[in-house]
Amino acid sequence: MSRPFLKMNGAGNDFVVVEARSQPFAPTVEEARAIAARDGGIGCDQLIAIEPSATADAFMRIWNADGGQVEACGNATRCVAWLTMQASGREAVTIETVAGTLSATRAGETLISVDMGEPRLRWDQIPLENEMDTRNIELQVGPIDDPHLHTPGAVNMGNPHVVFFVDDAETAPVREAGSLIEHHPLFPEGVNVGFAQIKSRDRIRLRVWERGAGLTRACGTGACAALVAAHRRGFVNRKATLEMDGGELVIEWRESDNHVIMTGPVEVEFAGRL
Ligand SMILES: N[C@H](CCC[C@H](N)C(=O)O)C(=O)O
């Protein structure tokens, strides 16, 4: 039976959002992949279901475009939080995910802040295949030998990220290197691959090759990971604007509680039926 959905995006990272509180939604990997397909499907980076939660305002389930379920999606969390605020009239809501429950507050008519919690920084929390310093991980593969790509940092924001520091994000080998590293044996659960150009102590230009989705126009958890990795290397302050292909996110790694706060836009593109 067909069912309604909303096509949304957060800074250009786009989603098909399905309401699954009244009617369960359990697509197979193939069905999720078919919905996400840009050629023949609706087309999105992630497929999102809003489900009941016993402990939060809603549970958010996330499928990547390749049909696999994942733990976290920052831009989608803002979209689901915004929908929940619009429906409830409240300015603060909680969203339960596989990676934990997140608190969101309204920062504007279509601007949402999400407390993404604490970054996980130990090698076995990323996770990595073997023990190493997650500030500077040793990774040599394909175009990554490019001397312009400095030793990356690794951060888990509920999902795994590796962040390379590059001289120019526009010319960085995002597709070639991203697709190689996504499945590199150093990352037993795969990895999202960020390419960060430090423009100043409070501005980073970031492009992300996402695990299971490829090059996206923005990545919220990727923006959080890039800020944390760059601060750990002394490149930026604790708060910065992350310039992504589809828009800007403001990320702060709060000193008081070690939480990472992500603020960014939400947009409803259209409504349809699956
Ligand atoms: N676009 C999402 C990240 C999706 C991460 C997913 N690609 C994974 O496999 O972890 C975001 O805004 O955080």
Strand partners, 248: 243
Give domain 123-258's CATH architecture: Roll (3.10)
Instruction: Of 250, 190, 255, give the one whose Cα is nearest residue 226.
Output: 250
Residues of the chain with CATH 3.10.310.10: 4-116+265-273, 123-258
pLDDT in tens, 234-248: 999 999 999 999 999
Phi and psi angles of residue 76, each rounded to the nearest 5 degrees, phi first: -70, -30
What confidence tens digit (pLDDT) does each residue in 58-100 have? Answer: 999 999 999 999 999 999 999 999 999 999 999 999 999 999 9
Please return the burial class of 195, using the count of CB atoms within 10 Å of its CB with bins 0-12, 13-18 and 19+. Answer: buried
Among protein residues, the one whose CA lies closest to atom 10 of ligand 1 = 159
Which atom from ligand 1 is nearest to the alpha carbon of 219? 12
**Domain boundaries 4-116+265-273, CATH class:** alpha beta
Strands (E), 32-99: 46-51, 58-64, 69-70, 92-97
Residues annotated within the binding site for substrate are 13, 46, 64, 74-75, 159, 192, 210-211, 220-221
Q: Is the model's pTM score more than 0.95?
A: yes
CA distance 183 to 191: 7
Identify whether 44 is a catalytic site residue: no
pLDDT at residue number 138 = 84
pLDDT digits (tens, 9 = 90+) for 91-140: 999 999 999 999 999 999 999 999 999 999 999 999 999 999 999 998 87
Which of 44, 79, 219, 224 is flagged as catalytic? 219
* Alpha carbon nearest to ligand 1 atom 5, residue: 73
